[in-house]
Amino acid sequence: MPAGNGANGTSRSPRAITRLPDASLAFCELTHLERTPINAARARAQHGAYVDWLRARGVLVEVLEPLAGSPDACFVEDTAIVLDEVAIVTRPGVESRRGEVDSVAAALAPHRELIRIEAPAILEGGDVVVTEETLFVGLSGRTNHAGLKELAHSVLPFGYRVKAVEVSGCLHLKSAMTLIAPRTLLVQPAWIDLARVEGFELIPVDSEEPFAANTLRVGDSLLHPACFPRTRASLSGRGFAVTPLDIGEFQKAEGAVSCLSLLLDGGQARR
């Protein structure tokens, strides 16, 4: 397996792709939450603070314009899985989101070879947790066995294995677990079978904060929703550098911190 950030083991500057939220965000797809009003101006301000956090850590951020009439398009994570060697352009699990992928693919094309997931497969990036040697793939309402199979075939030449994790009670696998260090996962045990992620140190979320397992990792820094202080205190007590950020408007749309960007290098598992 390659060492370093690049496909040839060379270092690359950390980059991220994000997209400004469209005014239609309030009409987003919802699966596990009741619809509540979303303040578009506040969402823009929260997105700006998110981008500021990335840039403060040396990340070169490309901010795409809103995609008119696509409420969920700001959740760019779902449209691709970016590895050191290649980017897998996904086929989202709901029809309303499939128009999002082409513009993200165009932004990724200068940086990666692209491979596309094709029908009948469905696969969303929020269901894929990338580690050094394994891609954990959530089988959810947004990702099916055909999507997992296509992904496994696509990444096999690069030395990755793919391991399925059944997801229940939440939208995506990354709602239930995220990688916070090379061999450490922040997890919500109620939503996944922890036996599927053996070999990793597992840190559970606080029992009063069931939605707290999603983080964004850039280097040794973690970004975490501001509304989960108990879980954040647990992480800080273990020596993690964690920044709280208010993303409340996006949480109303079943979004989380990892959903709002695609990281190219700098935040990847193979370092």
Active site residues: 172, 259
Is 270 in contact with 5 (CB distance < 8 Å)?
yes
Rg (CA), the chain: 17
- Angle of CA points 176, 178, 179, to nearest 5°: 150
CA distance 114 to 193: 32
User: Tokens 């296509």 belong to which residue?
Assistant: 150
CA distance 179 to 64: 26
Can you name the residues that pair with 135 across neighbouring β-strands?
130, 162
Closest CA to 186 of 120, 242, 145: 242
Tell me how far CA of residue 95 lies from CA of 37, 57, 98, 213, in angstroms. 23, 35, 6, 27
- Residue 231, sorted as left (phi over 0), alpha (psi -120 to 50) or beta, turns out to be alpha
Is 88 in contact with 130 (CB distance < 8 Å)?
no
Q: What six digits make up the tokens of 207?
A: 């029992």
Tell me how far CA of residue 230 lies from CA of 157, 208, 226, 257, 258, in angstroms. 41, 8, 10, 17, 19
CA distance 207 to 187: 11
